């Protein structure tokens, strides 16, 4: 059976919910399809000690401030999951869970959304599938020869699982630094980064990142020089656990190795480090496989957009994947504005 609605939102994490909030305000009929059985998107799956890099009030979706977490300035992931579950309920967002979208096809004046629970026809689609389901691992020689365990950020949980092991953490971004800090003192740690770690000033948190991303977008839109945005400030937010580990000298990084061996990693200068486990904190790619059939243009796994709208398929909007779909749109505070713009454009399209 094929069901019909005005808008199908694919993904029920924070981005899908922000889209739902604005669609509802504009009186547009929609459904949100989410592959997971429970609310919270990627926040359900992070490591145990993860803390937001902004206080609660600066980590809020449109319409409703995130309440503070008692006793914590920077809330944990479980607090975000509870907030998102409450948000969804409060605004009565129509989320269908346990529904995985396999493909989106063009069907005359509709887009046909194929799922493992039947099909939908929609006049527009918002894709908000995030990146968590597409971990990226770089091609490094010897990855198959290494006999130990290899994890990605998405599989790491806590230091207890790796107690007493020799662990190599790869990556100089926030995930790499936070996981290295989590492990420091609990395992025999080697932290490896492509360039020396670049910490943001200790007093800078997610608020400043949001401001920097917004200023950069405005400058680019006005044809001014690219000031580098967030990247110009540094790579690592010095959240308290990272700051503490760094300040007592537990976070010293080595440069990137050039290959894996059977029992560890090796550098070009002939030095090596044995390892039981390597944790690749090497980022993500957007989860966009469901659009393969539409053959949309794009580079680096992206789809070409103006704002959130696909250039080649104007009935399709992309939300929350990164700065390419709106300044700081992959953050709680940043996704509200592009979600509003996407909903407004869609309202214009379906009411024209």
Which residues of the chain form contacts with ligand FAD (CB under 6 A)? 10-16, 33-36, 41-43, 46, 52-54, 59, 100-101, 128-130, 132-133, 175, 206, 287, 290, 320, 330-333
Judged by CB, which is closer to ligand FAD: 47, or 257? 47
Nearer to ligand FAD, 6 or 88 (CB): 88
Q: At its nearest, how many Å lie between ligand FAD and the CB of residue 43?
A: 6
Cβ atoms of 10 and 16 closer than 8 Å: yes
Residue 30: partners with Cβ closer than 8 Å, 6 or more residues away: 5, 6, 7, 8, 9, 20, 23, 24, 94
Q: Are strands 188-193 and 149-152 parallel, antiparallel or unpaired?
A: unpaired
State which residue, 179 or 260, has the beta carbon closest to ligand FAD. 179
Closest distance of CB 147 from ligand FAD, Å: 28
Distances (CA, A) of 318 to 30, 277, 330: 16, 36, 11
Considering the complex, state which of residue 43 and residue 120 has its C-beta at the smaller distance from ligand FAD.
43
Residues 316 and 305 sit within 8 Å (Cβ to Cβ): no
Nearest CB to ligand FAD, comparing residues 209 and 275: 209
> What's the closest the beta carbon of residue 265 comes to ligand FAD, in angstroms?
23
In whole angstroms, how close is the CB of 282 to ligand FAD at the nearest point? 12
Helix, strand or coil, per DSSP, at residue 346? helix
Please check whether residue 252 is in contact with residue 188, taking contact to mean a CB–CB distance below 8 angstroms: no
Q: How far is the CB of 20 from ligand FAD (least distance, A)?
A: 11
- Pair 280, 170: CB distance under 8 Å: yes
The alpha-carbon radius of gyration of the chain (Å, integer) is 21
């Amino acid at each position: 059976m094929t069901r019909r609605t005005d808008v199908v939102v694919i993904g029920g994490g924070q981005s899908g919910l922000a889209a739902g909030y604005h669609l509802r305000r504009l009186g547009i009929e929609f459904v949100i399809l989410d592959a997971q059985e429970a609310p919270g998107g990627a926040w359900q799956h992070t490591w145990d000690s993860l803390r937001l890099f902004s206080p609660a009030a600066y980590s809020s979706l449109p319409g409703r401030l995130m309440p503070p977490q008692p006793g914590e300035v920077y809330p944990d992931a479980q607090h975000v999951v509870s907030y998102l579950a409450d948000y969804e309920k409060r605004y009565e967002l129509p989320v269908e869970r346990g529904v995985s979208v396999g493909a989106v096809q063009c069907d005359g004046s509709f887009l046909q959304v194929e799922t493992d629970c039947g099909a939908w026809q929609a006049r527009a689609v918002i894709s908000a599938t995030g990146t968590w389901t597409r971990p990226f691992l770089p091609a490094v020689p010897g990855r198959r020869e290494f006999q130990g365990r290899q994890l990605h950020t998405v599989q790491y949980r806590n230091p207890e699982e790796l107690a007493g092991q020799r662990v190599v953490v790869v990556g100089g971004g926030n995930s790499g630094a936070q996981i290295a800090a989590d492990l420091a003192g609990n395992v025999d740690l080697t932290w490896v980064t492509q360039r020396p770690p670049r910490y943001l000033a200790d007093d800078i948190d997610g608020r400043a990142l949001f401001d920097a991303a917004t200023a950069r977008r405005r400058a680019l839109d006005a044809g001014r020089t690219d000031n580098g945005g967030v990247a110009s400030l540094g790579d690592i937010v010095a959240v308290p656990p990272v700051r503490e580990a760094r300040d007592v000298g537990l976070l010293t990084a080595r440069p990137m190795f050039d290959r894996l061996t059977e029992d560890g990693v090796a550098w070009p200068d002939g030095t090596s480090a044995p390892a039981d486990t390597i944790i690749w904190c090497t980022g993500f790619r957007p989860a966009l496989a469901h659009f393969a059939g539409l053959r949309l243009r794009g580079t680096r796994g992206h789809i070409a957009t103006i704002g959130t709208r696909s250039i080649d398929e104007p009935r399709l909007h992309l939300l929350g994947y990164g700065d390419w779909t709106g300044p700081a749109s992959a953050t709680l505070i940043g996704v509200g504005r592009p979600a509003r713009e996407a909903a407004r454009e869609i309202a214009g399209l379906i009411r024209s």
